[in-house]
Structure 1
Amino acid sequence: MLDLFAGPGGLDVAAHFLGFKSIGIEWDRSACETRYAAGLPTFHADVSVMRETRFHEIPASVEVLAGGPPCQSFSVAGRGAGRAALETVKTFIHRLVSGEDESQIDEDLHALGVDPRTALVLEPLRWLLKAIETEGRDPYRVIVLEQVPAVLPLWEVYAQLLRSGEGRLRGVKYEADCWELKTEQYGVPQTRTRAVLVARLVGSGPVERPEATHLPFDVRRGKGKAAQASMLPGGPGKRRWLSMADALDTASGLEGSSIDISRLRTKGRTKFFVVSNYGSNGDPKKRGRRLSSEPAFTVTSKISRNKVYKSTTDYEAARSDRFTIAESGVLQTFPHNFPWSGKDQAQQVGNAVPPRLGMHVLSRALRGNAPSSNELARSVTWPTVPGGTVDELRTIGCGDQSRCPQQSHKVTRTPRRSAP
């Protein structure tokens, strides 16, 4: 599997526990350091540059194209330049497939003056077309893409064109579909909705929506209406969503666990509440709250700003705590001992695809079934990676640093003081 915009490795971690090999492309140096420490093969490079000048370095054995283009310009938490440009971006998708000159398309995109990250949602399509048009390469057998819900209309255009096989697709057709998936319905202890596209070459079998294993969480908690089944401890064929306390308690009890939540326990019971960094209904003064017996808020790059309180008394006295990086990773369903490295670790955690969701999506896309109970059970602990492997991966990924993203290895040095 080739993972574009790979980040610290959410989809790669999912692939590992399912028994598939992966390689990622990531431009952020810190995310690369995490990937090297985790033993994940990586190119420290710009996705566009890799496609334009280094495509030949991607193994021809890659059968799966995956990725989650940066979502900041589409996210409701951002300014939404991408959401405003959705209709325009749709036209660029059609122009790419119809065969228009890509340099002209790039020029027109630049002239729009939109957030440059908005154009990155076109990169998976460009990679797909590149594979089809490159001699000696086979079309990707499976495509898996994810983004914030606002991008679903673009995935629908992708799916329509992939099914058509027209233009630069040269008759290559895919079975394709896309959905909004709620992470808590797949065993992730947080509420987070993602727009997911899955495509398989015609003849590889139908594309099916990953089957939910857990109930949805009612974020309104039944306010203004009768309490829903999602608030009850069971349901036909589905388990109740996983809570923050459930996830952290389980992680803290693992052998050699890096999670210690004793500070959040009262009389042997994990009990706390979280006050979000974000305001409710657009009002920054109205901070949302979640109990430890509920799923977490969407884990974003600002999760370290959320405040954790053991009691109302602590809240009134302004005695707050914070989730550690390891704890934040567990709420994303990364293994408790995942080797977060480099800078901006909260940013890495928040930007990642939750591995547990990735396992359900990839397993359904690649094998046509759900991940096994044994695979899910093993996904809580990451294997130890020898130091020599880390060094080797860093050498492969960064080499002499000349082909890494510009300025990414720049070190700011503090001037030496003169001797007295």
Structure 2
Amino acid sequence: MPVRRNFKILDLFAGPGGLDVAAHFLGVPSMGIEWDRNACLTRYEAGLDTIHGDVSKVRKERFSEIPEEYNVLAGGPPCQSFSVAGKGRGRAQFDDLRELMKLMEALVDDHENPEIDKKLAKLDPRAALVLEPLRWLLTRNAVHGKPYDAIILEQVPTALPVWHEYKEILRSLPGELAYECAEPHVLRTERYGVPQTRQRAIFVARRKNADFSGEPTLPKGVHRSFDPRAAYDRAADAPVEEQTLFDTDPDSGPASWRSMHDALKVAGPHLSYANGTKPLPDNFVVVSNYGSGGDPKKRGRRSSHFPAFTVTGKVSRNVVLVNGEDHRRFTIPEAGVFQTFPGNYPWAGNDQSQQVGNAVPPVFAMHVLSSALGIPLPDDPIESALKWEPAGTERASELRARGCGNAHACTDRCPPQDDVKKK
């Protein structure tokens, strides 16, 4: 497949930079739109081009600020409405999902119809954000007469029906606007070198006339899947040599999954510890923050020689046991390593656990972007993503001046703090 180097990625829900970090290591420029000021502070410190704003408001009022050469649209809309770990309103009440899919069809017919916004206002506002990638696509068509060359979306598994609806809509667009779409699928991140069991629903589409070679595909796993059911009763006590518990899925790759211990060991030279905190020993056990089998008191445990539980915004509350005793909690950089962020990634602002938990794992995103855009992966994606070069004070201020309108503080064009807290 010929390599195209003229991609620029616009990430609608950029968070602290998981997809941007992946794009950086693939040599692809990116820009992110992010409403949370804490995540923006991290992005500025990391040197990531950012607009601090609400995705829908930027689309309506500031679309002209996005250069036309940003020809790849990506997004991971907020997932609390669909998340199993959250209250799951969208999961429990499928009426929202059905209504969203009806509104998607209405958007294609008339994306400026004010009645659509009135109907969306009756839904969970976070669920409504799942439609923003489609609205951005339709707005770009209207403004520039040319759609995005590729679209890449990720969400929690329960949003998979929405991605299937995206597939049907994008395939049926008229003429040069039509897309070829890979079959949406739920991917397990440990198959791509992420030392964590996490599942994401992925959607990839390419514009038919965008000079791609071949049909769009999702990445094949290069690591074997981890079977948490087989590990449940053995995580605390099984010797290391017995901890090779693999899922029997035939799509699994040839290499073993990566463990928490291995990830921390490799990242060690780039990790720093404050306030007298010392690195974790080789052998430790993590207690899950969530109950199992419907019993909130029944918490799963995993050895350090297993992948981590899914990293969520509560990762800093995970109890870490050493020799059966409460040792300490994970540091933010350690949690970031389980997400495959570089060990020295410059986390900033408040709510850093939430920032880490909300992010897409960069190494996983590298595989997705590589497959979606036909860009070769580095020989060793994990090795290539171990170290980051922070922006420095001057560059961070420059990015904030562009992203917020002021080099040192947010301005009136940034989302109000109250709005940020509500989301």
Instruction: Note whether the superposition's TM-score is higher than 0.5.
Output: yes
Shift of 1:43: 0.4
Report the alpha carbon displacement of residue 258 of structure 1 after superposing the two structures with TM.
Answer: 2.1
Match of 2:177 in 1: 172
Flag the 1:272–1:223 CA change in 2: closer, same or farther, 3 A. closer
* Structure 2 partner of 1:221: 230
Superposition pairs of residues 50-61 of structure 1, within 5 angstroms: 50-61=58-69
Could you tell me which of 101, 106, 115 is aligned with 2:117? 106
Number of aligned residue pairs: give it. 388
**Kept after mapping to 2: 8 A contact 1:274/1:290:** yes
* CA 236–5 in structure 1, closer or farther in 2 if over 3 Å, else same: closer
C-alpha distance in 2 between matches for 1:236 and 1:47: 36
Mapped to 1, the partners of 2:11 and 2:372 lie a distance apart of 15
Q: Which of residues 287, 292, 310 is equivalent to 1:298?
A: 310
Task: Give the superposition deviation at 1:396.
Answer: 0.5
Equivalent position to 1:258, from 255, 261, 272: 272
Structure whose CA Rg is larger = 1
CA deviation digits over 1:225-253, x for unaligned, max 9?
xx997169xx996101000001011111x
Counterpart residue type for residue 310 of structure 1? V
Change (3 A) 1:402 1:298: same
For residue 326 of structure 1, the aligned residue among 330, 333, 336 is: 333
Residue in 2 that maps onto 1:187: 193
Alignment of 1:213-252 (within 5 A): 213-221=222-230, 230=246, 238-252=254-268
- Is 2:346–2:390's contact at 8 Å kept on the other side of the alignment? no
Write out per-residue CA displacement over residues 239-281 of structure 1, whole angstroms, 9 at most, x where no aligned residue.
Answer: 01000001011111x2x5326985532xxxx000000111112
- Which of 404, 414, 419 is the aligned partner of 1:404? 414
The answer for unaligned runs of 5 or more in structure 2 is: 1-8, 234-242
What is the alpha-carbon distance in structure 2 between the residues aligned to residue 275 and residue 237 of structure 1?
28
Give the secondary structure class of the aligned counterpart of 1:221. Answer: helix
SS in 1 for 2:417: coil
| Distance in 2 separating the partners of 1:42 and 1:182 | 29
Q: Is the 8 A contact 1:30 1:342 kept in 2?
A: yes
Q: Are 1:287 and 2:295 counterparts? A: no
AA matched with 1:90: M
- CA-CA distance at 1:210 after TM superposition: 0.2
Using the alignment, how far apart are the partners of 2:379 and 2:316 within structure 1?
31
Residue 87 of structure 2 is matched in structure 1 by 79
Identity %: 52
Residue identity opposite 1:107 in structure 2: K
4+ residue runs over 3 A deviation:
259-263, 407-410
Distance 1:6 1:398 in 2: 15
Following superposition, the deviation at residue 165 of structure 1 comes to 1.1
The whole-number CA distance in structure 1 between the counterparts of 2:266 and 2:418 is 38
Alpha-carbon offset, residue 100 of structure 1: 6.0
Q: Give 1:17-36 correspondences, 5 Å limit.
A: 17-36=25-44
SS of 1:197's equivalent?
strand
1:137-148 maps to which residues of 2 (within 5 A)? 138-148=146-156
* Equivalent residue for 1:372, pick from 366, 370, 378: 378
Aligned to 2:239: none
Matching of residue 66 in structure 1 with residue 78 in structure 2: no
Structure 2 residue 279 is matched with structure 1 residue 273: no
Among 375, 389, 399, the alignment partner of 2:395 is 389
CA distance in 1, matches of 2:353, 2:107: 35
Letter in 1 for 2:137: L
Shift of 1:61: 0.7
State the distance in 2 between where 1:282 and 1:93 align: 35
Give the superposed CA RMSD.
2.3
What is the TM-score when the length of structure 1 is the normalising length?
A: 0.88
From the superposition, tell whether residues 212 and 347 of structure 1 become closer, same or farther in structure 2 (CA, over 3 Å): same
Which AA in structure 2 matches 1:176?
C
Q: Cα offset for 1:49?
A: 0.6
Q: TM-score, length-normalised on structure 2?
A: 0.87
